[in-house]
Amino acid sequence: MPVNAPLLEVQNLCVSFATRGQMIPIVENISFSIGEQEILGLVGESGSGKSVTAMALMGLIDAPGVRITGMALFKGQDLLAMSGKQLRTLRGQEIAMIFQDPMTAFTPVYTIGWQIDEQLRVHQKLSRRQARARTVELLGEMGVPDPLNTANRYPHQLSGGLRQRAMIAMALSCNPSLLIADEPTTALDVTVQAQILDLMRNLRKTYGSSVLLITHDMGVVAETCDKTLVLYSGRVAETGTTQALFAHPQHPYTAALLASIPPMSGPRPERLPAIPGSPPQPLERPAGCAFAPRCTYSHATCLPAPPPAFHAINSHHKVACLLPMEGTPLPPRFSANTTATV
């Protein structure tokens, strides 16, 4: 990737919510960048702050007492400093978002076509007829059969896969430079998921869009994303090219997460290498490394604050763990795995 200014550069994003006089830090110091036509995967378990990150970038968090700090430079402008009005022209036009549940993302009282038309008419000032022509064209490109008639149907009349295609068509209608996809395939069956992932991979070729893909599924990341950012309890654990991160995870959390996925081939392990316990609640998050209480490698230096700083393994792989810095990095994934399963 050329090292011009990235399309989106997020620096030290923090999001805290106020509850009963306390500020709860949901997301702490998240930084990442997305280049042109790049797909970045944001992975983590539920409660890790994936969706809050996306919502903060889109200016969609509307909670009293929320505090969002940091910077998010999109084409040089700071999204977090923008007024609601400025953001509104950007959303839909430059940055679009698709959600996990297309049933609730569409309004049930208008047809799919009407809702896509509306977006085109607002942002691109098209006439009704022009907008509908473009809508039908888009639905067709997204692989919706019989787009002319499908446009006249209501969300509940479509299957989950078709609704998600319509949702993507709506998101792409104004040719956004950045598409944020929040668990776009989680509600779908595997065979339909495979179709939608295929579609997402092709978007950058046909539309030149960059994608921020939020998911909990490491398999989806491996098949779709160029770069990966692993979140744990609101903090970045590890980030790097998907290739490097999956072949040689440097954070024990990433390694353990990958190891706990039941394999689809090879010998079946007697027991899955599970991670003990569960992620901490934001208020109970340890001062030092958030993963330390569940980590098999944790030792005295992991516990005191502040959390481990980022250590660059190389120019495209960074990890918030002391192990590589202390000269005892994790072994590569596959040699580690084979010894574990034998």
Partner 1 sequence: MPPNSTSLQTTRDEPVLTVKDVYKTYTLNKGQTLKAVDGISFSVMSGEVLGLVGESGCGKSTLGRCLLRLHDVTSGQIIFEGQDITHLPERTLRPLRQRMQMVFQDSYASLNPRRRIGDLLAEPLKVHGTVNGERRSASAITQRLAELMELVSLPRAALARYPHEFSGGQRQRINIARALALSPRLIVADEPVSALDVSVQAQIVNLFADLQKQLGLTYVFIAHDLAVVRQISTRVAVMYLGAIVELGETDNVLHHSVHPYTIALTQAVPRPVVGTPQHAPLRGEIPSPVHKPSGCRFHTRCPAAQARCAHDAPQLRPIAPNHEVACHYPVLSHN
Q: Are 210 and 33 in contact (CB under 8 A)?
A: no
Closer CB to partner 1, 72 or 259, in the complex: 259
Q: Contact positions toward partner 1, by CB under 8 A?
A: 45-46, 159-162, 189-195, 197-198, 216-223, 242-243, 246-247, 256-258, 260-265, 268-269, 271-276, 278-279
Return d(Cα 134, Cα 157) in angstroms, integer: 21
Smallest distance, partner 1 to C-beta of residue 290, A: 14
* Smallest gap from residue 156 Cβ to partner 1 (A): 13
Q: In the complex, what is the shortest distance from the CB of residue 278 to partner 1, in angstroms, rounded to a whole number?
A: 5
**Residue among 32, 16, 44 at smallest CA distance from 74:** 32
Nearer Cβ to partner 1 (49/59)? 49
What tokens appear for 336 in the block?
């580690």
**Closer residue to partner 1 in complex, CB, 93/341:** 341
How far, rounded to the nearest angstrom, does the alpha carbon of residue 212 sit from its chain's CA centroid? 5
With respect to partner 1, which residue has the nearer C-beta, 90 or 220? 220
Q: Which helix (H) or strand (E) holds 220?
A: helix 218-224
H/E stretch holding 212 reads strand 210-215
Q: Whole-number minimum distance, CB 149 to partner 1, in Å?
A: 16
Name the one residue in this structure whose structure tokens are 């295929």. 198
**CB 182 → partner 1: shortest distance, Å?**
16
**What is the nearest approach in angstroms of partner 1 to the Cβ of residue 326?**
24
3-state secondary structure of 229: strand
DSSP codes, 132-168: HHHHHHHHHHTT-SSHHHHTTS-GGGS-HHHHHHHHH
For residues 273 and 324, which CB has a smaller minimum distance to partner 1 in the complex? 273
Q: Which amino acid is at 152?
A: N
Which is nearer to partner 1, 174 or 203 (by Cβ)? 203
